[in-house]
Amino acid sequence: MSEFGTTLRSQVEQRFAALVVARDAGHDYEVHLHGARIRDLLEMAARHGVDTRGWVDPAVLDSADLTD
């Protein structure tokens, strides 16, 4: 993996860890923010041809959306 891909993966892992902490603390808005940042990073990776399969469980990102 390129240095760019490695950096993106590291950032995704950091945000995912923060998402888990926020979820465990019941901070729904923070969960949403971390989920949105992870999506942004994954989209950036896709634009640059970085394979992100297996980085994040899609179900976790789906649960990071704000609900009414």
Between residues 9 and 61, the one the model is more confident about:
9
pLDDT score of 9 more than 90: yes
**pTM of the predicted structure, to 2 decimals:** 0.88
CA distance 51 to 23: 27
| pLDDT tens digits along 27-68 | 999 999 999 999 999 999 999 999 999 999 888 888 888 764
d(CA 33, CA 23) in angstroms, rounded, equals 11
